[in-house]
Amino acid sequence: MIHRLSLFLCLSASVFGADLFDKPNLAAWCIVPFDAVKRSPEARAEMVAKMGIKKIAYDWRQEHVAEFEREILA
């Protein structure tokens, strides 16, 4: 369940000739810095998977640098 999560969607640049707003063409953006619940990288990956989102555009703040590798692996 999403609790006050600011989730922004952006378009995948690799999509041409399709409906740009089809779900497979969307990516979650700004999840890390605006996650009010402060989920772990693994919990964020689980959350977007449950939403059916397959792509994430990673945005971060200095405090997230140490978790960058975990975020990518998750």
**Stated pTM of the model:** 0.62
DSSP secondary structure string for all residues of the chain: --SSB--EEEE-TT--SS-TTSGGGEEEESHHHHBTT---HHHHHHHHHHTT--EEE----GGGGGGHHHHHH-
- Whole-number Å distance between alpha carbons of 50 and 74: 14
Burial class of 53 by CB neighbour count within 10 A (0 to 12, 13 to 18, 19+): middle
Q: Which residue has the higher pLDDT, 45 or 1?
A: 45
Task: Reply yes or no on whether the pLDDT at 6 is more than 60.
Answer: no
Q: pLDDT tens across 9-21, in order?
A: 444 444 455 677 7
* Tens-digit pLDDT profile for residues 23-67: 787 888 888 888 899 899 999 899 989 988 888 887 778 888 888
